[in-house]
Amino acid sequence: MTGRVWNVEESLEIPAPPQAVYAALADVRRMAEWSPEVIWVWPRGDRFVGINRKACWVWFATCRIVTADPGREFAFDNTTFGLPIARWGYRLTPTSGAPWSPSTGATAAAMVGVAGSPSCWAWSSPAPRPSGAPPGTARGCA
């Protein structure tokens, strides 16, 4: 029996240079600032443990950083009780060929392969989608 794999793709524009966005995203201690479920993170080298809460349920997630390319990409695999859950990450690209300025920025897209499929990438935004913004494109894995 093969498990289901869900994928979501979305991107958003952030008015900041890719290096600054990367620095915020790669500092896993700040994850609770943009995740409604994360309440605390304990970093340990290329791994970290996140404590999560939703309503009355509390659980932990053990994560391993798999990609750390400053200013370009940050990704980690997420497991709970030894079961692979997802690959979360962020790929940053400039919004134009021009150098960053307050009127341009970086487009940040987060990738996640849900249901423990690390070879399957999809995208999800690292922040809530602005009101009226179109949703990302969902796609399946080969």
**pLDDT in the model for residue 108:** 58
- pTM of the complete model: 0.68
Q: The tokens of 36 are what?
A: 């409604």
- The SS3 assignment for 130 reads coil
- Give CA angle at 63 (61, 69), nearest 5°: 150
138 lies in some domain? no
Domain span at 81: 11-27+65-124
95 lies in some domain? yes
**How high does pLDDT run on average in the chain?**
73
How many domains is the chain partitioned into structurally? 1
23 lies in some domain? yes
79 lies in some domain? yes
Instruction: Give per-residue pLDDT as tens, 45-79.
Output: 999 999 999 999 999 999 999 999 998 889 899 99
Q: Who has greater pLDDT, 97 or 64?
A: 64
5 lies in some domain? no
Q: Who has greater pLDDT, 85 or 140?
A: 85
Q: d(Cα 81, Cα 91) in Å, to the nearest integer?
A: 27
